[in-house]
């Protein structure tokens, strides 16, 4: 006896596959979905004008020790993430260890 594929059986198969996919996708970190291109001062005129650097230890004056994107009021990434969005550079992720002249300490 062969198994017939009824519409109900087909629906249950698809629903099961969709549920499995949802569980898998839900387990991924949210940043996988929203990853933006990394800001690059070599190709972004605003970043260059604001002296953006990926490594704050290489930032020019008026940078002060301890200043980094991760503790800037404009940084919108989550704590512990290597990159995150910045309100000054929409459409790009900045390095949490980076810095630019738009830096403002979080209060
Ligand atoms: S504004 Fe703040 S978060 Fe954005 S690049 Fe400059 S220092 Fe980093």
Question: Measuring CA to CA, how many Å separate 74 from each of 9, 15, 52, 89, 105?
Answer: 52, 42, 13, 9, 9
Return the pLDDT at 27. Answer: 56
Decide: 52 in ligand 1 pocket, CB within 6 A. Answer: yes
Per the DSSP assignment, residues forming a β-bridge with 84 are 94
Rounded mean pLDDT, 75-103: 97
Cβ of 103 below 6 Å from ligand 1: yes
Ranges of each domain in the chain: 31-95
- pLDDT tens figures, 17-42: 555 544 554 555 555 556 899 999 99
pLDDT for 6 equals 76
pTM as predicted: 0.72
Judge contact between 41 and 88, C-beta under 8 A: no
96 lines ligand 1 (CB under 6 A): no
| Res 25: pLDDT | 47
CATH of 31-95, picked from 3.30.1600.10, 1.10.287.3510, 3.30.230.10, 4.10.490.10, is: 4.10.490.10
Give, using CA atoms, the residue closest to atom 4 of ligand 1. 86
Q: Which residue has the higher pLDDT, 20 or 57?
A: 57
């Amino acid at each position: 006896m062969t198994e017939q594929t009824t519409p109900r059986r087909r629906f249950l198969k698809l629903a099961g596959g969709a549920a499995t996919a949802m569980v898998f996708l839900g387990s991924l970190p949210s940043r996988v979905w929203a990853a933006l291109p990394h800001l690059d001062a070599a190709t972004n005129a605003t970043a260059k004008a604001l002296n953006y650097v990926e490594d704050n230890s290489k930032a020019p004056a008026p940078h002060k020790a301890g200043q980094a994107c991760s503790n800037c009021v404009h940084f919108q990434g989550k704590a512990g993430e290597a990159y995150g969005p910045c309100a000054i550079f929409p459409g790009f992720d900045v390095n949490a260890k980076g810095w630019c002249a738009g830096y403002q300490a979080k209060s």
